[in-house]
Amino acid sequence: MSSSVPVMMHVATASLAVVEAALDAGYDGLMIDLQHGEVGLEDACAMLRAVPRGNSHLFARPSGLEPGPIGRLLDSGARGIVAPTIETAEQAAQLVAAVKYPPLGRRSLGPSRPGLYSGEDYCAAGNAAVAAVVQIETAAGVDAAGEILAVEGVDAVYIGPADLAVSYGLPGRADWADGPVAEGIEKVAAAARGTGVRLGLYCSDPAFAAAHIRSTGLDFVGMGIDLVFMGKQARATVAALDAALEEQS
C-alpha cells in the first residue's frame, strides 16, 4: 500500500482465497484471527503457508497463551503472535516464553517451513524475525502498560479499541477521537515510546487511521475485517437494487 506504515487486514474466515485477495488488493499483511470467527488451528496453518515467507507482516492471533498452538502457528510461517487481553507483566512473560527460542523463551525447535529463518544462529535469527505482540484492550491493561511493555522480549503492542471501550462502559466500536478510549491509547503510546516497543492500533476509518499514523506515531495499523467488508458490501448492493427498483416503478 501507499501508507507510510504497514496496514494489515483481520481475516476471520477460513479461506485461502481471502488471504490471496487481501494481499492482491494492496494490504501489506494479515492478522489471522483464531480468537473470533471460524478459523481453526489447521485452517490457520494452511492460510499462513499460502503467504510467501518473506512477508514480515503476517500475524496470527490465537485465543490464549498455550505454547502448543503458538508453536505450530510460528512453524507455519507466522511472523508475529498477537496475544489478546494482556493485563499483567506475567501474561506478557508467558507470551515471550511461547514465542521466543532459548535463551529468551522456551519455544521448541522442530520441523517447520524450509528456510523459515536464515542466519548462523537459527535461534537468534528466529527470535529477531518473530514478534511477540501484546494486545492491550482493557482498562486494566492500560493501567499496567508500562510494566507489560517493559518485559524483555515484548516486541510490539496492539491496541484493541472496541474491547477497550467496553471496559470503560462505552459502546464497543473503534475510532474514538476523545474520551477515556482516546486517553487510554495515548497512555499506551507513551509507554511504547518509553520502552522502544512498536505500536499498532486497530482502526475502521481510513481518515482516522491516517490521523493517528501522523499524531501517535503508529508503526503498524490493523484496518478492516473480511466478514465486516462482506456484510457492508452486501447491504449496499441490496440497498442499491431496492433503490433502482423504486426509481423504475
Cis, bond preceding 103 (omega within 30 deg of 0): yes
End-to-end Cα spacing for the chain: 43
Query: Which residue out of 10, 36, 57, 212 is catalytically annotated?
Result: 36
Task: Quickly list DSSP for the chain.
Answer: --SSS-EEEEE-S--HHHHHHHHHTT-SEEEEESSSTT--HHHHHHHHHTS-TT-S-EEEE-SS--HHHHHHHHHTT-SEEEESS--SHHHHHHHHHHHSPTTT--PPP---STTSS-SSSHHHHHHHHSEEEEEE-SHHHHHTHHHHHTSTT--EEEE-HHHHHHHTTS-S-S---SHHHHHHHHHHHHHHHHHT-EEEEEESSHHHHHHHHHHH--SEEEEEEHHHHHHHHHHHHHHHHHHHHHHH-
| Burial of 148 from C-beta contacts in 10 A (0-12 / 13-18 / 19+) | buried
Active site residue 36: yes
Cβ atoms within 10 Å, residue 149: 25
- Catalytic annotation, residues: 36
